[in-house]
A and B are shown apart, each in its own frame.
Chain A
Amino acid sequence: MSTNQVAPEFIKTDLKEKLEMPSDITDQIDKNDKDKVSVNIEELIDTNTFDQLLDMDDDEDHEFSYSLVVNYFDQAEETFKDMDAALDKKDLPELSRLGHFLKGSSAAIGLKKVKETCEKIQNIGNCQDEIGLKGLDETEAIKKITQILPLVKAEYSEAEEYLKSFYEQETR
């Protein structure tokens, strides 16, 4: 299933090709996309938290924060694997726990989107719907998580990209 984020761009590029839109219009579209991207960063990262993390670096090469971020990458990937396994086993409590777990560390770094999605997973795993109210049955829950898991992975990749490029810039 294509996620919401992927769809528009895919459609856009398709449209562009199909309609053979004149270049100035495509430029406009591209520009809009760029603006969207920059806005997306704000949605992606909670600057307060992340800045606080950076503040704790003793010096300019961000040793501490970068190592923390790397730890996070490792942890997230482990967790995703575990999540996949748990989903296969239809182990909802495990999924919930994993969701909670990753939620915590994502929040610590300041990755807003990932954290929110993890919270959803946590709640759904607890047979609560996305805002925490009880009422889901197990099959529904599994279905939902199956939908959400790729989403969270995509969000994570996005965040990973951003962070990696950020540190690359910083340590240049």
Chain B
Amino acid sequence: MLDPTLPDPSASSTTIPTTTTKTVTKKGNQQGGTGIPDFVKKLFCMLEECIYPHIFSWSAKGDTFVVKDPSEFAKVILPSHFKHSNFSSFVRQLNKYDFHKVRNPDDRRRRVYGDQAWEFQHPNFKYNRKDLLEGIKRKATGKAAAAARAANNNDTSIDGSDTHRHSNLSSSSLSSSNCTKNELKEMTIKLQEQIQKIQESQTKMSSHMQLCDTKYNAIVEAVDRFRNNMAAQETLMRDIMQHLMTPITTTASSTSNDNNSESPPPEMQKLLQTYNEVSRANTDQMNRISKLVEHMQNDSVITMSSITTSATTTTAATTIPSMGPLAPFNFAIHNNTNNTPTTNNNITTTSLNNSHQQQHSYMPPYPVTTTTPQQTSIPPSMPLKVAMSSPSLRRKSNIPGWSIPPRVLLVDDDLIFRRLSTKLLQVAGCTIDVAADGLEAITKLGSGSYDIVLMDIMMPKLDGISATRNIRQYDTWTPIISMTSNTTDRDVQEYILSGMTDVLPKPLDQRTLRKLLERYCAHLKAVRQGYYGNNNVIEGAQITDIIENNEKGKQPMIATPPVIISTSSFLDSMQTDTIQLDQHQQQNQQQQQQQQQQHDQDNSNHRWQVFVNNSHFIPPTSQPTGQIEDDEVTRVWKKAKLSSNDD
């Protein structure tokens, strides 16, 4: 930025004495600009005086002057007029005043003035032309003055040459700083704009997600309702079947006394078959639905996790894969202080608590908080959630029926068959105990009670028939099913005579097994549905209690600062579902205990029924529903029973 033509104070003053002269000269120039420079005046006077003409004088023409002897000139003349004795300084001065050295290779002149002679010329420096002297201006001075004046206009300080330079410098730096300032300003503006745009897009996204969430919730609700409807239909059908069965079997048994077979008449069988098929189809459908819903939830979990990984801490995210099917429930990103989950599921608790704590301590740019609560339907979804709590549980509870899993005693000498059947039964939702032969079976039955016994016929030590006979001496209620590949009529008769309740052909087929279970463990289902009188009330009450508790359990969520990522409503429902799931599990356990007690009670009812079937009496309607009065058949039966007791 420095103007090279600026007067460099250090350069302009070669020696200290002349500095003052120069500055004076400059100042003079600055102030007036039209006065004759002192140097020029002095020079002229020197030439006019012409004291030493042999050293220093005008030329012949008078338009130049000559220094014939520079050394003498410097020694003698210069000191008397100037404060130095330096010829080169003198020459420099002359140059500054635009004097030019004459380098005329004019031999004549040269010879006239000698080899050392220096001749200087200026258009305005002529002999006896004082008037022209004003024209002699300092070269650098003129330009420098102009530049300085120009620079001075930008600056306020006009204090000599130093300030000029400095002012120029500072002005340049200021403008440069101005530039950087402007640049920074622009940058910040741009960044702010960007941030704003991002925020806008984020709000859009979050609102979109909210929309998706509501839709999804609606779908889940619909699916749950559908499932519920199916279950209700199921129960209705079952009830109908039960109602149907008893009158028909009574009529059937009454008409065919010597009918040894346990199976109800063909029409009944058909009805049973169709019913079972339909119910199976139902369960399949429900299985599919549950699977689908689980998949949907898993997917949503994945997407949610990917979105919110930035917002959540890793702990919450890592609990997801470890929990497997429970993942949807554990993935809770909530800012709720009220909803402390009252669970006995430790893992759920810790993960939820973790997320709670994390949420509190976390000050995110994306505050992941909840919005107003969404009251998603919980009671209908409860069975669904229970169903999805674990794969094995899912299987069990998706089979409409087992409130208590049937306890099965499997008697077979073949390890492979035992393993296979065990697996089949597990899939069907039962708990299994095994015995390798008849003796072991008797022992086990002596020490425990089972809902159903699957007895192989050909076994070492004690075969199936003998074992059954033995068992029937003290146990007439447990259904004993023979498993065999010999299913000729004669064989079947033999089995029934020994006390077997039914025949199951080997190899085991899952469907037949299911049918069998449903038939002989119907009381386990029926209990839950409340088919039996008093039990119905209790069961119903318990179930409604659960529902009510869960409703109450849903505490209102605190409305929190606006959401940026709000899969919250979905997560809310998830969390509440988790809580209810856990509560339900608790209730379930209690329920199971109670049902176990009732189970034993019901066993006696069932025993009676089975015994009656076995003994070909007219069976009563198994338990008064409270609605059906003693009908004709029952009266007849009661009479018969009384009379038989008298026998």
A103 within 8 A of B: yes
Nearest-Cβ distance from residue B144 to partner chain A, whole angstroms: 94
The 10 residue pairs across chains A and B that have the minimum distance between CB atoms: A105-B416, A107-B507, A56-B423, A108-B420, A104-B414, A108-B417, A108-B507, A72-B416, A105-B414, A100-B458
Chain A 41-81 interface mask (CB, 8 Å, partner B; 1/0): 00000000100110010100000100010011001000000
B628 within 8 A of A: no
Query: Most chain-A Cβ atoms within 10 A of its Cβ — which of B419, B506, B507, B508?
Result: B507
B112 within 8 A of A: no
Chain B 587-617 interface mask (CB, 8 Å, partner A; 1/0): 0000000000000000000000000000000
Complex contacts, A52 vs chain B, CB 8 Å: 509-510
B485 within 8 A of A: yes
A153 within 8 A of B: no
Complex contacts, B423 vs chain A, CB 8 Å: 56, 64
Chain B 443-458 interface mask (CB, 8 Å, partner A; 1/0): 0000000000000001
Residue numbers of B with Cβ under 8 A of A are 391, 412-417, 419-420, 423-424, 427, 458, 460, 485, 506-510
Which positions 96-141 of chain A face chain B at CB distance < 8 Å?
97, 100-101, 103-105, 107-110, 119
Residue numbers of A with Cβ under 8 A of B are 49, 52-53, 56, 58, 64, 68, 71-72, 75, 97, 100-101, 103-105, 107-110, 119
Question: Are B420 and A68 closer than 8 Å at their CB atoms?
Answer: yes
Complex contacts, A109 vs chain B, CB 8 Å: 416
Question: Are A97 and B507 closer than 8 Å at their CB atoms?
Answer: no
Question: Are A105 and B417 closer than 8 Å at their CB atoms?
Answer: yes
Given A52-B509, A101-B458, A104-B417, 9 additional A-B pairs, CB 8 A = A49-B507, A58-B391, A75-B415, A100-B458, A104-B412, A107-B507, A108-B414, A108-B416, A108-B508
Complex contacts, B414 vs chain A, CB 8 Å: 75, 101, 104-105, 108
A71-B412 Cα distance, complex, nearest whole Å: 16
Question: Are A103 and B420 closer than 8 Å at their CB atoms?
Answer: no
Nearest-Cβ distance from residue B95 to partner chain A, whole angstroms: 101
> A68 contacts which of B419, B460, B509 (Cβ < 8 Å)?
B419
In the complex, 16 of the A-B residue pairs with CB atoms within 8 angstroms, ordered by the A residue number, are: A52-B509, A56-B423, A58-B391, A68-B420, A71-B415, A71-B419, A75-B415, A100-B458, A101-B414, A101-B458, A103-B485, A104-B485, A104-B507, A108-B416, A109-B416, A110-B507
Query: Which residue of chain A lies nearest to B508 when distances are taken between CB atoms in the complex?
Result: A108
A50-B414 Cα distance, complex, nearest whole Å: 18
Nearest-Cβ distance from residue B436 to partner chain A, whole angstroms: 12
A97-B413 Cα distance, complex, nearest whole Å: 11
Nearest-Cβ distance from residue A57 to partner chain B, whole angstroms: 9
Query: Which residue of chain A lies nearest to B424 when distances are taken between CB atoms in the complex?
Result: A56
Nearest-Cβ distance from residue B163 to partner chain A, whole angstroms: 89
Nearest-Cβ distance from residue B514 to partner chain A, whole angstroms: 12
A64-B422 Cα distance, complex, nearest whole Å: 12
Nearest-Cβ distance from residue A118 to partner chain B, whole angstroms: 10
Question: Are A97 and B458 closer than 8 Å at their CB atoms?
Answer: yes
Nearest-Cβ distance from residue B605 to partner chain A, whole angstroms: 34
Complex contacts, B420 vs chain A, CB 8 Å: 53, 56, 68, 108
Nearest-Cβ distance from residue A90 to partner chain B, whole angstroms: 20
A9-B281 Cα distance, complex, nearest whole Å: 48
Query: Most chain-A Cβ atoms within 10 A of its Cβ — which of B413, B414, B419, B427?
Result: B414
Question: Are B507 and A68 closer than 8 Å at their CB atoms?
Answer: no
Complex contacts, A119 vs chain B, CB 8 Å: 485
Nearest-Cβ distance from residue A86 to partner chain B, whole angstroms: 14
Question: Are A107 and B509 closer than 8 Å at their CB atoms?
Answer: no
A113-B508 Cα distance, complex, nearest whole Å: 18
A58-B395 Cα distance, complex, nearest whole Å: 12
Nearest-Cβ distance from residue A83 to partner chain B, whole angstroms: 15
A75-B416 Cα distance, complex, nearest whole Å: 8
A121-B427 Cα distance, complex, nearest whole Å: 34
A75-B412 Cα distance, complex, nearest whole Å: 15
A107-B456 Cα distance, complex, nearest whole Å: 14
Query: Most chain-A Cβ atoms within 10 A of its Cβ — which of B412, B419, B424, B510?
Result: B419
